[in-house]
Chain A
Amino acid sequence: MTDGPFKEGIAAGRLAPQDYAGNFADLHPPFDRHEAQVEADRCYFCYDAPCVTACPTAIDIPLFIRQIATGNPMGSARTIFDQNILGGMCARVCPTETLCEEACVREAAEGKPVQIGRLQRYATDTAMAAGRQFYDRPASTGKRVAVVGAGPAGLACAHRLAMYGHDVTVFEARPKPGGLNEYGIAAYKTVDGFAQAEVDYVTAIGGIAIENGKALGRDLSLGELTGGFDAVFLGMGLGGVNALRAEGEEAAGVDDAVGFIAELRQASDLAALPVGRRVVVIGGGMTAIDAAVQAKLLGAEEVTICYRRGKERMNASDYEQDLAAANGVTIRHWLQPRRVVAEDGTVRAIELEYTREEGGRLAGTGETVTLAADQVFKAIGQTFEPAGLNGSGPSIAMEGGRIRVDAEGRTSLDKVWAGGDCVAAGDDLTVTAVAQGRDAAEAMHRALAR
């Protein structure tokens, strides 16, 4: 036995070696054929189905489910991929409880929606396991498009462009493609290297070259891209992290949640990954939940999420909150960070102030509480880092700190489109990034064909 959960400070190997695999296993194990058929049979094949409207990529859900029910999972996968080439990842990571499944009429009827996400996974897994490709790349049009960022937005954009025969080069700053699919999504949502397998599946259409380790702003400039390519798509996601604005936050042990998760996702041995004994996560969204749950699963003794408003204001869905609770994470509300208490430059505790809403505005009450903490994770939102866009000559118009786009994903610059988390119209979901990447590709294709 290692020092276990009670070892002070930030330490690795809190669990018995055999416990890691179980803790980080598939959150929703895949359906087998029979389970999928039984579940598919629950779908009412609604007219003008509300679930389709609720899906940002507008997958024809009743049709793909009917195809599963009739024993045609391949046809089902095609129905899904027609709208969403990352349907496999979306099946795993979409907060379906606030998207398609919330709209399912069986949710209204009995509080038990058809499990659309798991059915979608069944169909897409079947096709991907068989290596079945549904789309042929036509003869090259000779048009060249640069895509910046190999996240969901960039990949969806690249695939749709390849479907039209354009030659796509994807520039990705990180050593691996996939964006947050590879570096951000909770480990138990995408097990067994699925993110890379999906990138391979998407790029198998041909005509998509990914150049890893190439960052816009560092290795290339936007001016070079607009000069050297017929069109450019920016799908760079959010590179920055909001500061706590609490005194002493530079202390060792105050980390950003996204960085912690990225490290976890890339760790070849989870037992070697250090985590605090007492962990406090500041934030109220999906990232906060993911960081807290995964810290707990790594063996932290005590994990507390502190959110500065009430439960109903949390961005994390009820389902996500329940998941955290089920994993032993405590969620506390109406607390905002004031001061990191450090000893020798290392965090020991965090002092928080109670808050309340006064006429819609948040205000501190003056009352404070101090929570012991060996590690504090910041999960209070990410920001777009415009630095990469520097040197592009005329600057790109921004809106609320992100890139401004029109309904077709076009930026203020000629030949430049954008989508995903980096645009103002996004809502920080994988599926929305896919929809925006795809739709921008359609608009680019129309422009290129002119």
Chain B
Amino acid sequence: MADIRNDFVGIKSPNPFWLASAPPTDKEYNVVRAFKAGWGGVVWKTLGEDPPIVNVNGPRYGAIWGADRRLLGFNNIELITDRKLQTNLQEIKAVKKAWPDRAVVVSLMVPCEEDNWKAILRAVEETEADGVELNFGCPHGMSERGMGSAVGQVPEYIEMVTRWCKANTRMPVIVKLTPNITDVRYPARAAKAGGADAVSLINTINSITGVNLDHFAPEPMIDGKGSHGGYCGPAVKPIAMNMVAEIARDPETAGLPISGIGGITTWRDAAEFMALGAGNVQVCTAAMTYGFKIVEEMIAGLSEWMDARGHASLDAIVGRAVPNISDWQHLNLNYVTKARIDQELCIKCGRCHIACEDTSHQAITSMVDGVRHFEVIDAECVGCNLCVNVCPVENCITMEPLAAGVVDQRTGRTVEPTYANWTTHPNNPAARVAAE
């Protein structure tokens, strides 16, 4: 059996699946249910100062759906906890005491003054919690008050607040980053500069999930108006993974522990984040959609895969994909592929044909000798993968590399066995300059 115990900046948990700071972690009741279900840890719903904030009393969530109303993207305009600080602290303490083997991290958001942070850190230490997460991500409401993503969008503030926190607590400090920024490496570098033990990302993305066309107002609609919310769930996973990868491969932040968040729903999602450098993962929307039981699938699936592949512990997988994330300019231009359609599997829907014909390279037939037949024309195929992506049958169309020495029918050139990239390509003006 693979060992899936997790040690994240010294915080230990029986598995790498934590619940992200959000409604599932807002109360002792929920967190106890989560631990009973098997979650390895929680990041408690973000605490603020008293008096507690208030939430809207109308709808606070929006969503987009796929087939059969499967929830694909989720959005919220909820603020941080709306319960009294003391109530939360008491419950955190009780939970940590009752569940010593689980990770309990407390998310925090207070105004940008050192004294405010100092005070709340002291209060949290009392609870024996394992660590804190600084919420610099919340993109709605709190940011209008100079907190949340308003801090997370200014690297200097991140560094400053992180430094205060490190100076004022013995607990590990995780900095939660907002994705609402052009280059996530800058806030990550700032967190590191401030002494953060780790970063966690992503928080939610500014979004409008829908517009009510009867009222001409965004959803969720509150008395005829709406404001942007924070987007999460399966739809954000690709964005989150890229951001994790950018930090993991940035030489300036290399080795900085990352807690991966964003759309994680299955063991596979988790494994992918970890391969990209996340030391563990946090989950919110999937739990809010299906309940806490999904962690059973995550634990079993991850172990099963690790066993099957001979990965003994999480260390064997964390960051394994990082060396393979490359800049475009270093991709091998001598690697030539052609689409191949398995005629046995082809159901003749014609989607590959019309996609390639209308929008790409006219490289798939629709009719051969008067019969409906879909076949790749090598002389036209650029190997773009569009047909693979639109084909409804898995593995029916595959991209096959041409062996070295074979002539590419499209270019008339022989496939080279060597590696060559853009930096040395004759069409690259910069390369020519370098060559001269």
A38–B348 CB distance below 8 A: no
Interface digits, A46-76 against B, CB 8 Å rule (1 contact, 0 not)? 1111100000000000000000000000000
User: B351 near A46 (CB under 8 angstroms)?
Assistant: yes
Closest CB of chain A to B143's CB: distance in Å? 34
Q: Is the CB of A105 within 8 A of B347?
A: yes
A109 touching B372, Cβ below 8 Å? no
Q: Is A34 part of the contact surface with B, judged by Cβ < 8 Å?
A: yes
Q: Does B353 reach chain A (CB closer than 8 Å)? A: yes
> A82 within 8 Å of B by Cβ?
no
A49 to B393 alpha-carbon distance, docked (Å): 16
Q: Mark B335-368, 1 if CB is under 8 A from A, else 0.
A: 0000000000001111101100000000000100
B68, A44: Cβ atoms under 8 Å? no
Please tell me if A108 contacts chain B, counting CB pairs below 8 Å. yes
Total contacting residues, chain B, CB less than 8 A: 14
Find out whether the CB atom of B67 lies under 8 angstroms from the CB atom of A41: yes
* Cβ B366 vs Cβ A47 within 8 A: yes
In the complex, which residues of chain B have a beta carbon less than 8 angstroms from the beta carbon of A31?
none
The answer on a CB contact under 8 Å between A47 and B347 is: no
A143 contacts partner chain B, Cβ-Cβ < 8 Å: no
Q: Which of A45, A50, A109 contacts B351 (CB 8 A)?
A: A45
Q: Which residues of B contact A34 (CB under 8 A)?
A: 69
Q: Are B372 and A44 in contact (CB under 8 A)?
A: no
A100 to chain B, nearest CB (A): 14
- Contact yes or no, B67 A44, CB < 8 A: no
Which chain A positions have C-beta within 8 A of B353?
Answer: 47
- Do residues A109 and B366 form an inter-chain contact, with CB atoms below 8 A? no
**Interfacial residues of chain B within 357-399, with CB under 8 A of chain A in the complex:** 366, 372, 392-393
B69 touches A50 (CB 8 A): no
Assess whether A109 is in contact with B350, with CB atoms less than 8 Å apart: no
* Complex: A385 Cα to B360 Cα, angstroms: 58
Query: In the bound complex, do residue A47 and residue B69 qualify as a contact, i.e. CB atoms below 8 Å apart?
Result: no
Give the residues in chain A near B69, CB-CB below 8 Å: 34, 38
Encoded as 1 (CB less than 8 Å from any A CB) or 0, chain B from 62 to 97 comes to 000001110000000000000000000000000000
Pairwise interchain contact A46-B68, C-beta atoms closer than 8 A: no
In the assembled complex, the Cα of A38 lies from the Cα of B392 at a distance in Å of: 16
Within 8 Å of chain B (Cβ to Cβ): is A106? Answer: yes
| Cα separation A423 to B69 with both chains bound (whole Å) | 48
Contact A109-B67, Cβ < 8 Å, known A47-B350, A47-B366: no
What residues on B are CB-neighbors of A44 within 8 Å? 349, 351, 392
User: What A residues does B366 contact at CB under 8 A?
Assistant: 47-48
B contact residues around A106 at 8 Å (CB): 347
Q: How far is the CA of A363 from the CA of B321 in the complex (A)?
A: 74
Distance (whole angstroms) from the CB of A191 to the closest CB of chain B = 28
User: Within A15-58, which residues are at the interface with B (CB < 8 Å)?
Assistant: 34, 38, 41-42, 44-50
| Count, A-B residue pairs, CB within 8 A | 37
Alpha-carbon separation in the docked complex, A50 to B392 (Å): 16
State in angstroms the CA–CA spacing of A6 and B245 once bound together.
78
Q: Are A50 and B68 in contact (CB under 8 A)?
A: no
Q: How far is the CA of A44 from the CA of B366 in the complex (A)?
A: 16
Are A48 and B350 within 8 A (Cβ)?
Answer: yes
Q: Is B354 in contact with A109, judged by CB distance below 8 angstroms?
A: no
B67 touches A50 (CB 8 A): no
Give the contacts of A234-260 with B (CB-CB under 8 A): none
Q: Which residue of B lies closest to A106 (CB)?
A: B347
The minimal Cβ–Cβ distance linking B396 to chain A, given in whole angstroms, is 9
Contact of B393 with A46 in the complex, beta carbons under 8 Å: no
Known: A38-B67, A41-B67, A47-B353. A108 touches B348 (CB 8 A): yes
Do A109 and B392 have beta carbons less than 8 Å apart?
Answer: yes
Beta-carbon contact of B393 and A109 below 8 Å: yes
Closest-CB distance, A356 to chain B (whole angstroms): 37
Task: Kindly provide the distance from the CB of B130 to the nearest chain A CB, expressed in whole angstroms.
Answer: 44
Say how far B63's CB is from chain A's closest CB, in angstroms: 15
Q: What B residues does A50 contact at CB under 8 A?
A: 348, 372
List chain B residues, Cβ under 8 A from A109.
Answer: 347, 392-393
- B residues less than 8 Å from A41 (CB atoms): 67-68
CB pair B349 A105 closer than 8 Å: yes
Q: In the complex, which residues of chain B have a beta carbon less than 8 angstroms from the beta carbon of A46?
A: 348-351
Residue pair B68, A47 in contact (C-beta under 8 Å): no
Minimum distance in angstroms from A374 CB to a CB of chain B: 50
Residues of the B chain whose Cβ atoms lie less than 8 Å from the Cβ of A105 = 347-349
- Report the minimal beta-carbon distance from A102 to chain B, rounded to whole angstroms: 13
Chain B nearest CB, measured from A288 CB (Å): 34
Q: How far is the CA of A46 from the CA of B390 in the complex (A)?
A: 11
Contacts of B372 in A (CB 8 A): 48, 50
Least CB distance, B66 to chain A, in whole angstroms = 8
Query: In the assembly, what is the distance between CA of A46 and CA of B351, in Å?
Result: 6
Q: Which residues of A contact B350 (CB under 8 A)?
A: 46-49
Q: How far is the CB of B422 from chain A (nearest CB, A)?
A: 35
**Chain B residue with the shortest CB-CB distance to A108:** B347
Chain A residues near B351 (CB-CB < 8 A): 44-47
Docked Cα-Cα span, A38 to B69, in Å, equals 8
User: In the assembled complex, which residues on chain B have CB atoms less than 8 Å from the CB atom of A47?
Assistant: 349-351, 353-354, 366
In the assembled complex, which residues on chain A have CB atoms less than 8 Å from the CB atom of B392?
44, 109
A residues near B354, Cβ cutoff 8 Å? 47
Interface centre among B347, B348, B349, B351 (most CB of A within 10 A): B349
CA distance A49 to B349 in the complex (A): 7
Chain A contacts of B349 at CB under 8 A?
44, 46-47, 49, 105
Contacts of B348 in A (CB 8 A): 46, 50, 105, 108
Identify the closest chain A residue to B68 (Cβ).
A38
Chain A residues with CB under 8 Å of B68's CB are 38, 41
- Name the interface residues of B249-272: CB closer than 8 Å to any CB of A: none
Complexed CA–CA distance, A34 and B350 (Å): 27
What's the Cα separation between A38 and B67 when bound, in Å?
A: 6
Q: Give the docked Cα–Cα distance between A90 and B5 (Å).
A: 61
CB of A244, distance to nearest CB on chain B (Å)? 44
List CB contacts (< 8 Å) of B236-256 with chain A.
none
Whole-angstrom CA separation of A204 from B66 in the bound complex:
39
A29 → chain B, closest Cβ, in Å?
19
CB nearest neighbor in A for B69? A34
Among A34, A41, A46, max chain B CB count under 10 A is at A46
- Shortest distance between the CB of B350 and any CB in chain A (Å): 3
What chain A residues lie within 8 Å of B347 (beta carbons)?
105-106, 108-109
**Residues of the B chain whose Cβ atoms lie less than 8 Å from the Cβ of A108:** 347-348
Among A34, A42, A106, A109, the one with the most B-chain Cβ atoms within 10 Å of its Cβ is: A109
What is the bound-complex CA distance between A421 and B350, given in angstroms? Answer: 35
Residues of B within 8 A of A38 (CB): 67-69
Q: How far is the CB of B355 from chain A (nearest CB, A)?
A: 8
Question: Taking the nearest CB of chain A, how far is it from the CB of B161, in angstroms?
Answer: 46
Q: Mark A111-149, 1 if CB is under 8 A from B, else 0.
A: 000000000000000000000000000000000000000
**New contact pairs (4) apart from A48-B366, A109-B392, CB-CB < 8 Å:** A38-B68, A47-B354, A108-B347, A108-B348
The chain A residues found within 8 Å of chain B, CB to CB, are 34, 38, 41-42, 44-50, 105-106, 108-109
* Chain B residues at the A interface, C-beta cutoff of 8 Å: 67-69, 347-351, 353-354, 366, 372, 392-393
Cross-chain pairs A/B with CB under 8 angstroms, 18 sampled: A34-B69, A38-B68, A41-B68, A44-B351, A44-B392, A46-B348, A46-B351, A47-B350, A47-B351, A47-B354, A48-B350, A48-B372, A49-B349, A49-B350, A50-B372, A105-B348, A109-B392, A109-B393
Instruction: List the 9 closest A-B pairs by CB distance, nearest first.
Output: A47-B350, A47-B354, A41-B67, A105-B347, A46-B349, A109-B347, A105-B349, A108-B347, A44-B349
